[in-house]
Amino acid sequence: MFPDLRGDFPILTRTVRNGRPLVYLDSGATSQRPLAVLEAESAFVREHNGAVARGAHLLAEEATEAFETARADVARLVGAPAEEIVWTSGATAALNLVANGMLQASLGAGGAAAEGFHVGPGDRIVVTELEHHANLIPWQQLAARTGAELAWIPVDDAGVLVLDDLASVITPATKVVAFSHASNVTGVVTDVAPIVARAREVGALTVLDGCQSVPHIPVSVSDLGVDFMAFSGHKMLGPTGVGALWGRKALLDALPPSMFGGGAIAVVTMETTTWLEAPTRFEPGTQPVAQAVGMGAAARYLMDLGMENVARHEARLAQILREGALSVPGVRLIGPVGDPDRFDVLGLAAVAVEGVHAHDVGQVLDDRGITARVGHHCAQPLHRRLGLTGSTRASAHVYTTEDDARAFVEALAGVREFFGATL
Amino acid sequence: MSLEAMYQQVIMDHAREGHGRGLIDLTAAGRGESHQVNPTCGDEVTMRVGVDGDTVAAIAWEGHGCSISQASISVLTELIEGESLDTADATVEAFRALMQSKGEHLDEEREDLLGDATAFVGVGKYPARIKCALLGWMAFRDALIQARGSAEGATA
């Protein structure tokens, strides 16, 4: 039996519109933070704040220790060594770091060691049709700036990736394949293995967007076999303003940095700079240390719960949300119902209500204290492919209860009733 | 504030009726067209405005969006088509003021100008929805500027 964790999350006790209790179902956009995270951040700032890796005083030592411990905790969550975790301002920055690094390499930075990152005319960059804009635009722009061709793995009419013709998309000219581990719209967990296998066959790098998977299901980068993975703090019960890039050490050491400043360097002259090894070479300037400490605490909180348990809890919520949505007349579930026992869908449901715009659906839910996301969820191409401009998404996390999920389904049933009489 | 207060019957009616819907070719002396998008939801409208002399002679539009955005465009069309340019400007300004009023009613003079559009007063309490209500008004303002310019060009 998964514990009721609501007591750990102070915000969940507040009321919202009309004095109603908060039913928080927007964790896919941003998650709430437990006391363990809030207190870790606060304790760091109150007791240990100092300049990390600069200076020889006690506070600098303690701050550095806290910063590096957090890195090790976040690394442990995804089954990686700490030295392969780069702090970033978020997953968007992490994905841009890889794409921009490849651009820098293509311009000649990093020398022969960075040749594996070169892209140019005749090369191919592969994404998928369901990507969040954060894992589409960096690659689209890398292609536009280098003359490489952008191609994508398509989705079917249900919004599910079509993986049976990978060889025609991931061609021998492909240099990098960037794809989501789980869709923030359909909730479907990607079958990573065939994509990685094909990418390896043609010598392409693989970049995984783990924003929606790392907070919700067991993720081990060594099992997945990808080369890079981005994820964010605020979707995994941690703070905003911090995220991480995991990458294989040899690749991180060869990837040219694209943001420059203090702290990341070995020797600087007026004309030249040499960089430190990864991950430090990608962390110029003062880092969001308290936030990193908070993200480390969030990783520990999740590991204490056990990611298998978290996944099982959310699979049950997925079932209530998805089967419940399907049972409401006039409601279209985006993506398949899935088989929660196989953890092949996340605890979320994005729906389109026939004849009612997503904004109007969201307004009715909001009136009942239910926070859902409305719009295209930063996945315009996917919505366009499915003939939609937007949808309404309920997304769960560890603190979500079965009653929360049922409240969403019940409110959905009331939506068409509210608008049906007059629209 | 209840949901019913936001979705007043007059708004629901306009959302259904969609006055001026259909992107017909305009014959007025001055013509302008504007395409506006709400980037957070993908809602969009294309609006054509025709100006003859001192009058907003015609408004035609096509678009898709939530009931608030669609109703707002419909109300705008009904209110402003056939009115003088000065009245059009004053109505646009009054509607913007209504959206910034945080749900409070305006003075009588401006509310008279707004007619059915005063029903949108409740939208001002929901910051996330104000841009829905303003989508068509932004398109109108932009298209009207072009229509005036082209009318002046035609008479010069």
Would strands A124-128 and A149-153 be described as parallel, antiparallel, or unpaired?
A: parallel
- Choose, out of A389, A391, A416, A417, the residue to mutate when testing the contact with B (most B CBs < 10 Å): A389
pLDDT (0 to 100) of residue A53: 84
Burial class of A417 by CB neighbour count within 10 A (0 to 12, 13 to 18, 19+): exposed
CB contact under 8 Å between A375 and B42, yes or no, is yes
Burial class of A184 by CB neighbour count within 10 A (0 to 12, 13 to 18, 19+): buried
Q: Indicate whether A311 and A290 sit together in one domain.
A: no
Work out the minimum CA distance from A140 to partner chain B, whole angstroms.
19
Of the candidates B121, B122, B120, B5, which has an alpha carbon nearest to the alpha carbon of residue B70?
B120
Of the candidates A7, A11, A8, which has an alpha carbon nearest to the alpha carbon of residue A23?
A11
Of A358, A359, A418, the CB nearest to B3: A418
Residue in B with minimal Cα distance to A361: B66
Q: Is A378 a catalytic residue?
A: yes
Instruction: Give the C-alpha separation, A140 to A161, whole Å.
Output: 19
Does residue A199 have a pLDDT over 70?
Answer: yes
- Domains of chain B plus CATH, in order, are 3-155 (3.90.1010.10)
Percentage of residues of chain A with pLDDT beyond 70: 99
Instruction: Give the C-alpha separation, A237 to A398, whole Å.
Output: 9
Work out the minimum CA distance from A357 to partner chain B, whole angstroms.
5
Does residue A373 have a pLDDT over 90?
Answer: yes
Residue in B with minimal Cα distance to A392: B41
Residues in chain B: 156
Q: Indicate whether A321 and A398 sit together in one domain.
A: yes
CB contact under 8 Å between A359 and B41, yes or no, is yes
CB contact under 8 Å between A359 and B6, yes or no, is no
Does residue A423 have a pLDDT over 90?
Answer: no
Of the candidates A381, A388, A315, which has an alpha carbon nearest to the alpha carbon of residue A350?
A388
Work out the minimum CA distance from B81 to partner chain A, whole angstroms.
25
A375 chain-B contacts, CB cut-off 8 A: 40-42
Mean pLDDT, rounded, for B112-116: 94
- Choose, out of B7, B123, B132, B135, the residue to mutate when testing the contact with A (most A CBs < 10 Å): B7
At residue B18, what is the residue type?
G
Work out the minimum CA distance from A161 to partner chain B, whole angstroms.
23
Cβ–Cβ under 8 Å, residues B138 and B44: no
ipTM tops 0.90 = no
B15 chain-A contacts, CB cut-off 8 A: 422-423
Of the three residues A303, A330, A359, the one that is the final residue of a domain is A303
Residue in A with minimal Cα distance to B2: A367
- Choose, out of A360, A368, A377, the residue to mutate when testing the contact with B (most B CBs < 10 Å): A360
In a domain, A22, yes or no: yes
Burial class of A72 by CB neighbour count within 10 A (0 to 12, 13 to 18, 19+): middle
Q: Model confidence over A62-87: pLDDT tens digits?
A: 999 999 999 999 999 999 999 999 99
Q: Indicate whether A313 and A204 sit together in one domain.
A: no
Q: Which residues on neighbouring strands pair with residue A207, listed in sequence order? A: A178, A228
Q: Indicate whether A24 and A46 sit together in one domain.
A: no
Work out the minimum CA distance from A273 to partner chain B, whole angstroms.
41
Of the three residues A252, A277, A303, the one that is the final residue of a domain is A303
Work out the minimum CA distance from B22 to partner chain A, whole angstroms.
19
Of the three residues A303, A326, A343, the one that is the final residue of a domain is A303
Which CATH number belongs to the domain containing residue A242 in this structure?
3.40.640.10
Cβ–Cβ under 8 Å, residues A215 and A187: no
pLDDT (0 to 100) of residue A420: 74
Residue in A with minimal Cα distance to B129: A359
Q: Indicate whether A239 and A105 sit together in one domain.
A: yes
pLDDT (0 to 100) of residue B41: 80
Q: Model confidence over A308-345: pLDDT tens digits?
A: 999 999 999 999 999 999 999 999 999 999 887 777 99
Percentage of residues of chain B with pLDDT beyond 70: 97
Band of pLDDT at residue A422, cut at 50, 70 and 90: very low
Band of pLDDT at residue A419, cut at 50, 70 and 90: confident
Band of pLDDT at residue B132, cut at 50, 70 and 90: very high
Q: What secondary structure letter does DSSP report for A345?
A: B
Instruction: Give the C-alpha separation, A90 to A105, whole Å.
Output: 23
In a domain, A1, yes or no: no
CB contact under 8 Å between B40 and A18, yes or no, is no
Mean pLDDT, rounded, for A300-304: 98
pLDDT (0 to 100) of residue B131: 93
Q: Indicate whether A204 and A240 sit together in one domain.
A: yes
In a domain, A222, yes or no: yes
In a domain, A158, yes or no: yes
Instruction: Concatenate the DSSP letters of all residues of A374-404 into one string.
Output: EE-TT-HHHHHHTT-S-EEEEE--TT--HHH
Instruction: Concatenate the DSSP letters of all residues of A111-172 into one string.
Output: GGGGGGG---TT-EEEEETT--GGGTHHHHHHHHHHTPEEEEE-B-TTS-B--TTHHHHS-T
Mean pLDDT, rounded, for B89-115: 94
Mean pLDDT for chain A? 96
Residue in A with minimal Cα distance to B133: A359
Q: Indicate whether A144 and A240 sit together in one domain.
A: yes
In a domain, A36, yes or no: no
CB contact under 8 Å between B67 and A18, yes or no, is no
Of B9, B13, B66, the CB nearest to A360: B66
Q: Indicate whether A250 and A122 sit together in one domain.
A: yes
Would strands A273-275 and A243-247 be described as parallel, antiparallel, or unpaired?
A: unpaired
CB atoms within 10 A of CB B124: 20
Percentage of residues of chain A with pLDDT beyond 90: 93
Q: Indicate whether A337 and A217 sit together in one domain.
A: no
pLDDT (0 to 100) of residue A27: 98
Instruction: Give the C-alpha separation, A406 to B98, whole Å.
Output: 37
Cβ–Cβ under 8 Å, residues B107 and B77: no
pLDDT (0 to 100) of residue A421: 45
Mean pLDDT, rounded, for B80-84: 97
Does residue A378 have a pLDDT over 50?
Answer: yes
Instruction: State how many domains chain A has.
Output: 2
Which CATH number belongs to the domain containing residue A394 in this structure?
3.90.1150.10
pLDDT (0 to 100) of residue B156: 53
CA distances from residue B115 to A67, A82, A389, B75, B95 in whole angstroms, order as listed = 60, 64, 31, 9, 10
Radius of gyration of chain A measured on its C-alpha atoms: 22
Distance of alpha carbon B60 from its chain centroid, rounded? 11
Residues in chain A: 423
Q: Indicate whether A285 and A312 sit together in one domain.
A: no
Domain of residue A145 covers 41-303
In a domain, A35, yes or no: no
Pairs of residues, one from chain A and one from chain B, whose beta carbons lie less than 8 Å apart = 55
pTM of the model: 0.93
Residues on B contacting A at a C-beta cutoff of 8 Å: 2-3, 6-7, 9, 12-13, 15-16, 40-43, 64-68, 126, 129, 132
Instruction: Give the C-alpha separation, A215 to A412, whole Å.
Output: 26
Q: Indicate whether A294 and A387 sit together in one domain.
A: no
Does residue A167 have a pLDDT over 90?
Answer: yes
Torsion angle in degrees (nearest 10) through CA of A391, A395, A400, A406 = 30
Tokens of A277: 């090894």
Q: Model confidence over A247-276: pLDDT tens digits?
A: 999 999 999 999 999 989 999 999 999 999
Band of pLDDT at residue A357, cut at 50, 70 and 90: very high
Interhelix angle B67-80/B85-99, rounded to 10 degrees, is: 150
Cβ–Cβ under 8 Å, residues A212 and A205: no
- Choose, out of B12, B13, B64, B66, the residue to mutate when testing the contact with A (most A CBs < 10 Å): B66
Cβ–Cβ under 8 Å, residues B105 and B121: yes
In a domain, A402, yes or no: yes
Of the candidates A101, A99, A96, A143, which has an alpha carbon nearest to the alpha carbon of residue A121?
A143
CB contact under 8 Å between A390 and B41, yes or no, is yes
Q: Indicate whether A159 and A239 sit together in one domain.
A: yes
In a domain, A148, yes or no: yes
Mean pLDDT, rounded, for A138-144: 98
Instruction: Give the C-alpha separation, A85 to A81, whole Å.
Output: 7
Q: Model confidence over B37-71: pLDDT tens digits?
A: 998 888 899 999 999 999 999 999 999 999 999 99
To which H or E segment does residue A24 belong?
strand A23-24
Q: Tell me which of A125, A242, A378, A386 is the catalytic residue.
A: A378
